Structure 1
Amino acid sequence: MASRPPPRFVVRKHDDAGLRRRQLWLGLIWLGTLLLTGLVVGLLSRHANPAAIDHRQQRAMSAQIEDLKQQVANVQRDAQVNEVATRSLRVTLTQREEEISGLRANLGFYARLVGGDTQRQGLKLQEVKLEPISGSHGWNLMLSLTQNAKRSDEITGNVTVSVEGLRGDKVVQLDWAALGDATQKDGLPFRLMYFQQLHGTIVLPANFRPMRLHIGIQSAGDAPITRTVAWEDALSGNIITAQGDHDAQP
């Protein structure tokens, strides 16, 4: 009897439990891969994020610093503009005060000269002005004498000046002989009908601090006139209201 060839197909019973085991292992492997990938990404992120955060913070701080620098520059520029404007205003105010002072002096001079409806007025010290001589202890002195137009007679005489001040701790008074030119030992001569400006030079000692001027006016035939003027007032050159100021009467 001839032998039968083996069958080409073998029918076996399906193993459901083995299939489930293989699927479980595949699932575990896939889950492990996910976990491993997440762990690697987490480690990389943990090392990379601080640098990125620091970079962002640096950029934000740099922007704030630049903004603050700009604000400081704006404030400094505004302060400079205000300072320039304040200096300009002070110069303008000083000029206006000088102009007003000059106008007042001119007004007083012409009012004094014309006399208006007032009675005849005699000789008066209208103005005193001092100017320092650069590089020395000398001072240029200018005096203005006036009488109003209603008094038409000519007046002649001399003006002498003495300076009161401090020498050390002592108050001393330097008379005209110690201050003036030897060629004008009798004082500054004047001859006027309405007004005249007198010019002279005085020299002060190096250790002397002046405080006030004493001005003596002696006209022919009249009583002497004495005026006291503060040194600072004489420096300003403003019209003077001197102590003891009164007119020599005709």
Structure 2
Amino acid sequence: MSDAEPEPSHHHWVYLGLGVFLLALGFGLWGVWATWFAGGDPSTQSATALRASSDKLSQEVSTLRRSDQISREANRDLERALAERDEEIAGLRADIAFYERFVGATGQRRGLSVHDLEMQLQSGDAWHFVATLTQNLNRGAVNTGRVTLSIEGTRNDRLEKLSWSSLRKQANAPGAGYSFKYFQQVEGEVMLPKDFKPLRVTVRLVPAGGSAVEQSFPWPETVRGGG
């Protein structure tokens, strides 16, 4: 009787299956550890990245909006400045044209007079005035004297006229001096009572020699700068 090959032991297959199971379990546990502990939750990582990107974009948008606002404000300021400069240039050109005609050979001869009067509100009840005086009758002659103002208006529904001393808040206040050949701008300040409503301004020129000259202006025509 020939010797037969021994059949594989039943325990051998059991051990082999158990080894495969343990190996698969080990790979599974390693994958779980790599996903949850080593690499973190993918959904959590994605949400964090999206939040960071959103915050960055929001900051960039805010920066761009602020830059745009600053640019718009700068443009508006520049436009206002240019408009004011154009207005000043136009006024200067008009003044130059007037003075050229005034002192030119063809200019109309006039004695001492008030060409223009400007009133501008300052702080409180103070008003700054600029009176432009002219003359071209006596060419080359120097005109000297003093300027005073008086203002007519109403207070408590009654007509009232404020003298130069009242406007200056000083008894026997001296007038503003002038000295020129052809023209000069005389400036000063006056004070108006709060309950006084001005209607008309009268400028009085008292030359060193000769008769006084008076010229009146409606108040609204003299006010500059929104006063």
Please give the TM-score of this superposition, normalised by the length of structure 1: 0.56
1:51 paired residue among 24, 29, 40: 40
SS of 2:224's partner is helix
User: CA RMSD, aligned part only?
Assistant: 5.0
The number of equivalent residue pairs is 218
- Kindly indicate whether residue 215 of structure 2 is the aligned counterpart of residue 228 of structure 1: no
Contact 1:130 1:140 in 2 (8 A): yes
- Give the structure 1 partner of residue 119 of structure 2: 130
- Give the structure 1 partner of residue 4 of structure 2: 13
Where do 5+ consecutive residues of structure 1 fail to align?
A: 1-9, 237-250
Please give the TM-score of this superposition, normalised by the length of structure 2: 0.60
What is the deviation of 1:112? 4.4
- Give the structure 2 partner of residue 142 of structure 1: 130
What is the deviation of 1:228? 0.9
- Partner letter of residue 29 of structure 1? L
Contact 2:102 2:108 in 1 (8 A): no
Alignment of 1:1-250 (within 5 A): 11-15=2-6, 18-19=7-8, 21=10, 24-41=13-30, 43-44=32-33, 47-48=36-37, 51-53=40-42, 54-55=44-45, 57-112=47-102, 114=104, 116=106, 125-130=114-119, 137-146=125-134, 160-164=149-153, 170=157, 173-176=160-163, 178-179=166-167, 182-183=171-172, 195=183, 197=185, 201-205=189-193, 207-208=194-195, 210=197, 212-215=199-202, 226-230=216-220, 233-236=222-225
SS of 2:8's partner is helix
Greater C-alpha radius of gyration: 1
What is the identity percentage for the equivalent residue pairs of Structure 1 and Structure 2?
A: 14
Contact 1:114 1:148 in 2 (8 A): no
Question: 1:184-210 CA deviation, whole Å, 9 max, x = no partner?
Answer: 79x8899999656555653222x2365
What is the deviation of 1:128? 0.9
C-alpha distance in structure 1 between counterparts of 2:39 and 2:100, whole Å:
89
Where do 5+ consecutive residues of structure 2 fail to align?
A: none
C-alpha distance in structure 2 between counterparts of 1:200 and 1:76, whole Å:
45
C-alpha distance in structure 2 between counterparts of 1:45 and 1:98, whole Å:
78
